[in-house]
Amino acid sequence: MRLLDQTIASIKPTLNEDAFHAAKERLANQAKPAGSLGVMEDIAARLAAIKGAIDVKLSNKRIVTCAGDHGVTEEGVSLFPSEVTPQMVYNFARNGASVNVIAKHAGAFVKAADIGVNFDFEPDLPIFHKKVRYGTANFTREPAMSRKEAILSIEAGIDIVNELEAEARVDILGTGDMGIGNTTPSSAIIAAFSGIAVEKLTGRGTGIDDRMLENKIAVIKKGLSLHRPDPSDPIDVLSKVGGLEIGALAGLVLGAAARGIPVVCDGLISTAGALIACELCPAAKNYLFAGHKSVEIGHAFMHERLGLEPLIDLKFRLGEGTGAAVCMELLDLATRILADIKTFEEVGIRNAQ
């Protein structure tokens, strides 16, 4: 049995119901109107169910930013050239990117992963060296990658989780991305699964103008028409119109779910990876939190298909794991709401309910 199959088989179909009900009961009996902290109470109960405990500690926060290049950039779908991808990986490694700054504030550690960058990094660069190939092919001409490469990209993400866990128990994992042109395969993925018109799913990515947006839509339509990815086969979708870093993002979700680690996914590209993961194994959704609602219009359709409500809407459209980092602070707070707010009984208040 290969790593992907082993990992999926290890994901528990249900969470700890006893911990969930105990959390709900405590929240209902705290010294405040029942349900008055809204979504934060729901988050707290879900985390308790994932961890099997009332007093959850999210001490070791990790964000993995997966990077890859895309052959489809040859079709003029982005304002920036692919050469920017490796430059940004260096910026992550040097703690100079947006996600590094936001994650530091949230008490999270960021590490980038080379899954498919069209560049050779120095072996001692402090990133995860998991290259499957040097970028995807241009999917308007041929499949983005082979089926074997798609599986290897997912397994790269699983490997990363396993390596992180070997260092120290991960309490929460955030997913992020870097790859010039990667909103194009992400939009293609949700179109392939949903059957919704490409025009309704495709946004401006790096800020392209109307003419470039029309071209981007045409490019996605061409790839879908040429390859006809099978929505009942997530590997087929990933291999034909996806991205290497998107596969690794799926692997992060699956790997974390198999180890009982909650995952906060970031924007459009990270959610495309989460979508692949949950199409492969619906139970993985139990461990998944939708961090934020991106400006990218396809993101809402991904959330709808996953049945997840994004926690915040700050009009982000950067990626990298920035939204996931912000939301880690909310999840951290949710654990304290559950464990630290006293119940009416604990503070000696009677007849308050």
* Residue 325 lies inside a defined structural domain of this protein: yes
Same domain, 115 and 161: yes
Beta bridge partners of 197: none
pLDDT of 65 over the 70 cut: yes
**Dihedral pair phi/psi, residue 158, rounded to 5°:** -65, -45
Determine the structural domain holding residue 202 and report its residue range.
61-331
Asked whether the predicted pLDDT for residue 353 surpasses 70, the reply is: no
Q: Indicate whether 49 and 125 sit together in one domain.
A: no
Same domain, 149 and 15: no
134, with CB counted inside 10 A (0-12, 13-18, 19+), is: middle
156 in the same domain as 127? yes
CA distances in angstroms from 204 to 79, 208, 226, 298, 301, listed in the order given: 10, 5, 23, 10, 16
> Is residue 353 domain-resident?
no
54 Cβ neighbours under 8 A, 6+ residues apart: 19, 22, 23, 26, 48, 338, 339
320 is known as an active-site residue: yes
* DSSP symbols for 180-203: TTTHHHHHHHHHHHH---HHHH--
Give percent above pLDDT 90 in the chain. Answer: 97
Higher pLDDT, 238 or 205: 238
Same domain, 29 and 85: no
Same domain for 189 and 324, yes or no, is yes
How many structural domains compose the chain?
2
Spatial separation of the C-alpha atoms in residues 89 and 129, rounded to whole Å: 11
Average of per-residue pLDDT across 219-223: 98
- Site of tokens 């969930």: 20
**Mean pLDDT for the stretch of residues 190-207:** 95
Co-location of 143 and 258 in the same domain: yes
Asked if 320 contacts 98 with a C-beta cutoff of 8 angstroms, the reply is: yes
Domain CATH for 47: 1.10.1610.10
109-124 pLDDT per residue, tens: 999 999 999 999 999 9
- If we measure between CA atoms, which residue out of 340, 148, 109, 114 comes closest to residue 238? 148
Phi, psi for 66 (deg, rounded to 5)? -90, 135
pLDDT of residue 352 exceeding 70, the answer is: no
- Kindly state whether residues 281 and 243 are assigned to the same domain: yes
Looking at the fold, whether 12 and 152 belong to one and the same domain comes out as no
Are 305 and 252 in the same domain? yes
C-alpha span between 219 and 259 (Å, rounded): 38
CA distance readout (Å), 149 to 44, 89, 99, 137: 38, 22, 28, 12
User: Given 320, 329, 345, 346, which residue is catalytic?
Assistant: 320
Q: For position 185, which CATH number holds?
A: 3.40.50.10210
Check whether residue 219 and residue 343 sit in a common domain: no
> Is residue 13 in some structural domain?
yes
3-state secondary structure of 243: coil
pLDDT-derived band of residue 206, with 50, 70 and 90 as boundaries? confident
Measured between alpha carbons, how far is residue 102 from residues 63, 278, 318, 325 in Å?
11, 27, 12, 6
Query: Both 103 and 7 in a single domain?
Result: no
Q: For 107-233, where are the alpha helices, taking DSSP H only? A: 147-167, 183-194, 198-201, 210-227
